[in-house]
Amino acid sequence: MTASSILTDNILPFWMNRVQNPAGGFYGRIDGNGKLHPEAPRGGILNARILWTFASAYRVLGNPDYLQMALRARDQILGPFWDSDFGGTYWSVDSEGRPLETKKQIYSIAFAIYGLSELYRASGDELALRKAVELFHIIEEHSLDPVCGGYFEAFSRDWTPIEDMRLSDKDQNDAKTMNTHLHILEGYASLYRVWKDKELESSLRKLIEIFLDRIILPDGHLALFFDTDWNCTSHVVSYGHDIECSWLLAEAAEVLGDESLSERVNEVCSRMAEAAVQGWTPLGGMVYEKDLRDGKVDADRHWWVQAENVVGCVWQWKRSGKTKWLDCAKTQLRYIEDNLLAPDGEWYWSRRADGSINTEDDRAGFWKCPYHNGRMCMELLDKYPEL
């Protein structure tokens, strides 16, 4: 299959035909066996990623049905998920669209900026741009650390401090994380592409410098968790985040348009890509992570890690001209085709270390969205359509 057919025959129809809720918005969960759970809560991240994916698909392919999906997602972000009293977006709503978990997780708000900015880029939707700008100012007002730099993770609904700042039960409860900063970077770069504001330019530049100075380690891997003063508190290598950051950081510097900064970023990103593929095997895809304290490897092949490895390798091939990166991307894409595409649509969450299909985790849900794999396809259409 080509990237185009994976996108238009496998990924997008699944979300259009099975995840749309006739009563409005989108269902919150389809499990790993393909069963719909209409009563499941709806996540802000899921809706923001649906928005980005279909806005981008409309921009790339011009199908008006994709625009309607994007507008449907926009109306959810600006409707049930929008806090008109305190600003920002809720973490989740229930199956009827009523506020459920009202905390302000900056990671989720950054994705709303990402999706709204892409909708404006694709369609000229002025409402989407205004709301993306509003969310940018909200993050800068409430989340920015004016002393040590960077952004704090989470707050209560009214922006007061919150004890549990974790994105999920698997995460450490720390003041700052690589993951949130990566996706603020992504959202701000997307917004700056369409809104050349001086304050945003400064914030984006500072984010890039935080990655260069604080988050990327000398060996090319990412540090994942930090205290307020940027002391690293983690000991895990996340290969998928390494390869994802290796191209998102380069893209952000490219959008900023500073050639000298881009040169510095590209050098670091090459080192990151080399570090990331330590977790890749040509016949078996990319493993999830490694704990440096005991050497234990989580060898599951998660869907999003495989997708980001394709994109990161194509970006590295474009930058370096070295065919080993293109060969890696092609081999990784074949692994995806053979191991992750579900016959009734979308991708399985992962292949286990023993090669078995993981059906315990969702096909669509809080964290299982069309963004990583959809974006992979669109990046390939842009940079190497022959794949």
DSSP string covering 54-82: HHHHHHHH--HHHHHHHHHHHHHHTTTTB
- On the question of pLDDT at 26 being above 90, the answer is yes
Task: Give 286's pLDDT tier (boundaries 50, 70, 90).
Answer: very high
Total length of the chain: 387
Enumerate domains of the chain plus CATH numbers.
Answer: 3-383 (1.50.10.10)
Task: Give 170's pLDDT tier (boundaries 50, 70, 90).
Answer: confident
Q: Which of 199, 200, 226 is nearest to 211 (CA)?
A: 226
Please check whether residue 309 is in contact with residue 244, taking contact to mean a CB–CB distance below 8 angstroms.
no
DSSP string covering 129-143: HHHHHHHHHHHHHHT
Q: What is the mean pLDDT of residues 233-258?
A: 98
Please check whether residue 128 is in contact with residue 191, taking contact to mean a CB–CB distance below 8 angstroms.
no
Residue 232 is predicted with a pLDDT of 97
Residue 366 is predicted with a pLDDT of 96
Residue 282 is predicted with a pLDDT of 87
Least confident segment among 143-147, 163-167, 209-213, 250-254: 163-167
The two three-digit tokens of residue 269, written as one number: 């990103």
Prediction pTM value:
0.98
Residue 386 is predicted with a pLDDT of 82
Residue 387 is predicted with a pLDDT of 79
- On the question of pLDDT at 380 being above 90, the answer is yes
CA distances 217 to 23, 145, 221, 249, 309, Å, are 48, 22, 6, 14, 19
| Dist CA 313 CA 329 (whole Å) | 6
Q: What is the mean pLDDT of residues 202-231?
A: 98
Q: What is the mean pLDDT of residues 248-269?
A: 97
Residue 195 is predicted with a pLDDT of 98
Residue 385 is predicted with a pLDDT of 85
Residue 133 is predicted with a pLDDT of 99
Residue 131 is predicted with a pLDDT of 98
- On the question of pLDDT at 41 being above 90, the answer is yes
Residue 176 is predicted with a pLDDT of 98
Q: What is the mean pLDDT of residues 245-268?
A: 97
